[in-house]
Amino acid sequence: MLLEIKETHTFFGKSHILHDVSMEVEKGEIVALVGRNGVGKSTTLKSIVGLAPSTKGSIRFKGQEIAGWRPHKICRLGVGYVPEERRIFPKLTVRQNLMSGMKPKQKVSKPWTIDRIYGFFPSLKQRDGQKAGNLSGGEQQMLTIGRTLMGNPEIILVDEPTEGLAPLLKDMVVKILRDINAEGVSILLVEHAMDVALGLASRAYVMSKGAIVFQGTSEELLADEEVRRRYLEV
Query: 79 - beta bridge partners?
Result: 155
For 185-231, the pLDDT digits (tens) are 999 999 988 999 999 999 999 999 999 999 999 999 999 999 999 99
- Compute the average pLDDT of residues 127-134: 96
Q: In whole angstroms, give the CA distance from residue 231 to residue 150.
A: 36
Residue 20 falls in which region: left (phi positive, over 0), alpha (psi -120 to 50) or beta: left
Predicted TM-score (pTM) of this structure: 0.94
Residue 229 falls in which region: left (phi positive, over 0), alpha (psi -120 to 50) or beta: alpha
Identity at 35, one-letter amino acid code: G
Q: In whole angstroms, give the CA distance from residue 18 to residue 40.
A: 6
For 51-79, the pLDDT digits (tens) are 999 999 999 999 999 999 999 999 999 99
Range of the domain at 104: 3-231
Q: Domains in the chain: how many in total?
A: 1
Q: Looking at residue 123, which CATH number applies to its domain?
A: 3.40.50.300
